[in-house]
Structure 1
Amino acid sequence: MTHLTEQAVTVTPATQVKLAPTAQPRHCVGIVGGTFNPVHNGHLVMADQVMQQLKLERVLFIPDANPPHVDHKTAISAKDRTAMVALAIQDHPGFELDTLEIARGGKSYTYDTLVELKRRHPENDYFLILGADMIAYLPKWYRIADLAKLVTFVGVRRPGFPVKSKYPVIWVDAPQLATSSTQLRQLVAQGRSIQYLVPDAVASYIKEKGLYHA
């Protein structure tokens, strides 16, 4: 959603038109971050629902480089995770892939990512999209007090998790898809189908690359 300010117009006797300086337009941009190991339809539904309900201009999908909380024994290369995200969002005009965390390397702290995004695009207002389970963990996040000054938290309601936080949160409802990346890896390892749980292009990529097989 773009917020435009009216330009003041002054007409001189010579009928010359002068445009007074105006504030830079603001743009509302969502963020979905994560390991995406692999990306699945639950990520896409959540992002789309928030985008439509809050009237965001677009949503950035930002894969982690080295998330501090992930079991590295189950992680695959950033190249493969990024490729799957690109395939998953290719048909949605409002979804974009941003690889800034991959390019930066090291541990992927959301605070560092928001500092960089605000530096690149000071005209943007960012909305960090999180499931209610992640909202509950916000107090443990790196530099959370500083992060809260840079971004608006958007919580997607989930059964069993309280709709409350010590930080300001915009709560939205979205269809619940009982899918997790862990479950998908297990299904693939067991030789079971993941059709309808991930986009077809992602399923094909996993099969072609032999990912997650035991």
Structure 2
Amino acid sequence: MGIELLTPYTKVELEIQKTRNRRQIGLFSGRFAPIHMAHLAIADQVAKELNLERVLFMPEFDDEEGTIVEMLARALHGQTGFGIETARLNSPETLFETLQTLVKSNPETDFYFIAGSDVIGGLSALENAAELVKLVQLVGVQRPRFRTGTSLPILWIDVPQMDLSSKALRDMMRRGNEPKFLVPDAVLDFIKERGLYGL
């Protein structure tokens, strides 16, 4: 699997240099409603490719019952190298402000912001895009049916292509179909316990 720096016009090799005394942490932002097997595969492959210490799932929104965080906790239970970061949860801050706070609070850490190709294109339009890439290393993963180009420095990581989305799973469940083998068993059990998404 190659690690590349892509822009719409050029493609160059990127040599990663890490110091022994700095932590390397991935931040995987998303809705995770629900978290599914493609999310886990992406986190695992990126962690291995970049030799990250941990990948933290960073949900954006949750309800008063903490449904999303509970699903994440069940999905990640017993999985070493994965965790949950709630800094962005229901926050009025912009993505830039959240990452700025995390970087200031963890001066010994290099953060890698992980996003799918459906999200990467929108990052270029952010008001603080130029400052954002100074805070964190952007890591992109291709998603089926979503191709994008950007002038921002992105590490593109090859991951298994799974045409799977949380929205498709919600639609499936609302039709009365269980997403067996598409979400972790513990998450599916929780969804049925709570009667989420029509199950």
TM-score of the two chains, using structure 1 as the length reference: 0.78
| Contact 2:117/2:140 (8 A) holds in 1 | yes
Partner of 1:117: 102
Shift of 1:158: 3.4
1:74-89 matched pairs, under 5 angstroms: 76-77=63-64, 79-89=66-76
Does 2:35 correspond to 1:39?
Answer: yes
1:1-214 matched pairs, under 5 angstroms: 3-4=19-20, 25-65=21-61, 76-77=63-64, 79-102=66-89, 105-107=90-92, 109-162=94-147, 164-213=149-198
Q: Deviations over 1:53-88 (max 9, x none)?
A: 11111001111137xxxxxxxxx5560011001111
- If you compute each CA radius of gyration, which structure gives the higher value, 1 or 2? 1
Distance 1:98 1:128 in 2: 12
**Structure 1: unaligned runs, 5 residues or longer:** 5-24, 67-75
Distance 2:93 2:188 in 1: 26
Q: Aligned residues, how many?
A: 183
Distance 2:148 2:98 in 1: 26
Distance 1:114 1:168 in 2: 17
Distance 1:116 1:78 in 2: 26
Which fold has the larger relative contact order, with Cα–Cα distance below 8 Å and residues 6 or more apart in sequence? 2
**Structure 2: unaligned runs, 5 residues or longer:** 1-16
TM-score of the two chains, using structure 2 as the length reference: 0.84
